[in-house]
Amino acid sequence: MDRATIDVYAGDGGAGAVAFHREKYVASGGPDGGDGGRGGNVVFQVDDGANTLSDFRYKRKFRAENGQPGGGKRCFGKAGGDCVIKVPRGTLIYDADSGRLMADLSGDEPFIAAKGGRGGWGNAHFATATRQTPRFAKPGVPGEHYRLRLELKLLADVGLIGFPNVGKSTLISVVSEAKPVIADYHFTTLSPVLGVVRVGEGESFVMADIPGVIEGASEGVGLGHDFLRHVERCRLLVHVVDVAGSEGRDPLQDFDTINRELAAFSDELSHLPMIVAGNKCDLATDEQLEAFAEAMKERGYDYYPMMAPIAHGTEEIVYAWARMLRELPPVKRFEAQAAPLPDPETIAAERTPQVTVKDGVFEVTADWLLPVLRTIDVDDYESLQYFQRVLISSGIIRALEEAGVSEGDTVSLYDFDFEYIP
């Protein structure tokens, strides 16, 4: 399983506290409500012990902790704990709604996918020379929420490609410590297999056995799309061919078919460096061996004959891979795409309050005003003064006047109604 879609929710910030200082012999101690704690983040970390996204088959929602509300004596609320999600190295994280690539988790640095909301201010922040006992505070800011699409692209230096049953699994089992399932039938390997090939002291590289690459794979035949994506990161391709044609197929035609599928899936794949490994040489005639070697020479490929089950010729090809890898660039990393900047005109339109008149009541719609409404205490005069300044500065009063409001008319802001007084 190398694809998954999940929902992540960062924690909401804690609400600020409304509190006043109480101490013996201290009169009118003043406001001392503390701020709320910030919400927890949703963080992705690389786990080298995982190689699939199967953990996300059943669990698809992840939530960080909310921040705790503030307390008296200017005590800050406790910050919410982060939600840490571990994924295999090489996982790409996309915004499922926009398709934007948010991160390529090929390194060790963690990635914050959703940020927790800030904690709300306590009433101590709102004390002024003229407003000495504010009885309101701010709620916490909601945390971010994303629907994410996870896609695993294995990190491998060398990728083994070729038709089923040509000996790819046998080759990787001989040159590395990988233990794939090997049997004499097609599609024995149902998922990519990674193995570390050690060339000498301090020198090694990662090889991947990429199954499922057959004719029509670029169009999704079989499991083509599922496996071709793993080839994209490889620095070097090793094309394993059954030169004996032991299953009645033409080895040269097989070679050309696979190359066409690579080119059809991605133009970059068709330009990757490639070495050709001719397997099952013990079953081929001298004429077959000479004809295939000549064809590879004409096409400009380095060709190495071998017999993988008995490790004949495998040492030479391993050293050839190592020589080429020393000169090739590192494993490909995909660049994350920056979030698009919001359009100023769109922001202005969203912030513009909408006023409609129904049965003599002026109804105001402004979703961004909802957090402010939650902070208003209608029984506190200073809180109402603060709310009136918000109505003026946000342009709501101007929008009401343009809609024809007059003294004594009823204005409705969601569940908050008041009489308009100029």
| Residue with the two structure tokens 């909802």 | 370
Taking alpha carbons only, the member of 308, 54, 275, 266 closest to residue 157 is 275
Dist. CA 2–CA 91, nearest whole Å? 9
Dist. CA 26–CA 349, nearest whole Å? 50
Answer whether residue 186 shows pLDDT above 70: no
Specify the CATH superfamily of domain 344-419.
GTP-binding protein OBG, C-terminal domain (3.30.300.350)
- Complete edge-to-edge strand list for the sheet that includes strand 83-87: 83-87, 42-46, 111-114
> What CATH number should be reported for the domain whose range is 1-152?
2.70.210.12
Model's pTM, two decimal places? 0.70
**DSSP string computed for 261-279:** HHHHH-HHHHTS-EEEEEE
Beta bridge partners of 175: none
Give 158-327's CATH code, choosing from 3.30.1600.10, 3.40.50.150, 1.25.40.10, 3.40.50.300. 3.40.50.300
Taking alpha carbons only, the member of 45, 85, 39 closest to residue 62 is 85
Please give the pLDDT value at position 180: 66
Output phi, psi for 143, to 5 deg. -75, 165
Cβ-based neighbours of 72, under 8 Å, separated by 6 or more:
17, 19, 20, 21, 32, 33, 34
Please give the pLDDT value at position 368: 74
Average pLDDT, the chain: 83
Q: What percent of the chain is predicted at pLDDT more than 70?
A: 89
Q: What is the pLDDT of residues 84-100, one digit of tens each?
A: 999 988 899 999 998 99
Dist. CA 121–CA 31, nearest whole Å? 12
Answer whether residue 349 shows pLDDT above 70: no
Cβ-based neighbours of 407, under 8 Å, separated by 6 or more:
420, 421, 422
Dist. CA 175–CA 198, nearest whole Å? 8
Q: What is the pLDDT of residues 267-300, one digit of tens each?
A: 777 788 999 999 999 888 899 999 999 999 999 9
Distance of CA 368 to the CA centre of its chain: 28
Under the banding of pLDDT at 50, 70 and 90, the label for residue 1 is low
**Cα 25–30–33 angle (5° rounding)?**
120
User: For the residues 189-206, what does the mean pLDDT come to?
Assistant: 78
Answer whether residue 38 shows pLDDT above 90: yes
- Residue 215's identity, in one-letter code, is E
Q: How many CB atoms lie within 10 A of CB 89?
A: 16
Domain boundaries, the chain: 1-152, 158-327, 344-419
Q: What is the pLDDT of residues 355-405, one digit of tens each?
A: 888 777 888 887 777 767 766 777 777 777 878 888 888 888 888 998 898
Evaluate whether 407 touches 362 at the Cβ level (below 8 Å).
no
Distance of CA 140 to the CA centre of its chain: 26
User: For the residues 10-35, what does the mean pLDDT come to?
Assistant: 87
**Burial class of residue 242 in the structure, from the number of CB atoms within 10 Å of its CB (0-12 exposed, 13-18 middle, 19+ buried):** buried
Evaluate whether 77 touches 34 at the Cβ level (below 8 Å).
yes
Answer whether residue 220 shows pLDDT above 50: no
